[in-house]
Chains A and B, each alone.
Chain A
Amino acid sequence: EVDLVESGGGLVQPGGSLRLSCVASGFTFSYYEMNWVRQAPGKGLEWLSYISGISSVIDYADSVRGRFTISRDNAKNSLYLQMNSLRAEDTAVYFCARDIDYGSGALGFWGQGTLVTVSS
């Protein structure tokens, strides 16, 4: 069974940094493309970033490019999101999500999310 567990959320001051992690199990992690998606309180979903199985292709939404960095450690079955220069509008639940298979473009497996609150 595919399982994705996010961690690393919490309260951070504006301008601060935070590193989110997502630990995967139940599948061969290196085979699959992974994503970060967030949802601000009471708002819709916002796709943030994508990374291919061997980290050869990486993409970001304009809203976070240059501030956020996605990475993965296939030996640890882990996905990361380094978030710098955080702003109040970055307050959201952050989900990691897995593509269902290579080239599908479909986010079929999701974690429960971790809450990031940016406030002084």
Chain B
Amino acid sequence: IVMTQTPLSSPVTLGQPASISCRSSQSLVHSDGNTYLSWLQQRPGQPPRLLIYKVSTRFSGVPDRFSGSGAGTDFTLRISRVEAEDVGVYYCMQSTQSRTFGQGTKVEIK
């Protein structure tokens, strides 16, 4: 399964919303009924950090300004109000059939 993220770069204004799209080459609905789509953040010089899993469930400790949505092949990560600490690269990842990452979206402050 190929994961395609858009945009690849997203300059954002502090306090403004941001969104990243992720499209899969085939449906991510598993035979068990779950959709295994997650979002990870990687700050400069750090390992990745899980934000969202199963499309919309926030991982422990993740601020509620991060939200995930979508179904089938189209998914979105939204940041309601961007903060300086949100700068980094964001990846979607599917685990429905093997595992694949998107190519990443760089979020930077304007």
Listed in ascending order, the chain A residues whose CB lies under 8 Å from chain B are 35, 37, 44-47, 50, 59, 61, 95, 97, 100, 103-108, 110-113
Secondary structure of the A side of the interface?
strand
What is the interface size of chain B, counting residues whose CB is below 8 A from a CB of the partner?
26
The reply to whether A105 and B53 form a contact with Cβ atoms under 8 Å apart is yes
- Report chain B residues within 8 Å CB of A50: 98-99
Distance A47 CA – B48 CA, assembled complex (angstroms) = 12
- What total of A-B pairs shows CB separation below 8 Å? 69
Other A-B pairs, 19, CB within 8 Å; known A45-B91, A110-B48: A44-B89, A44-B91, A45-B93, A45-B104, A47-B98, A47-B99, A47-B100, A50-B99, A95-B47, A97-B48, A105-B99, A106-B53, A106-B54, A106-B59, A107-B40, A107-B48, A107-B50, A107-B93, A108-B53
Residue on A nearest B95 in the bound complex, by CB: A105
Choose among B36, B42, B53 the residue with the greatest number of A CB atoms under 10 Å from its CB. Answer: B53
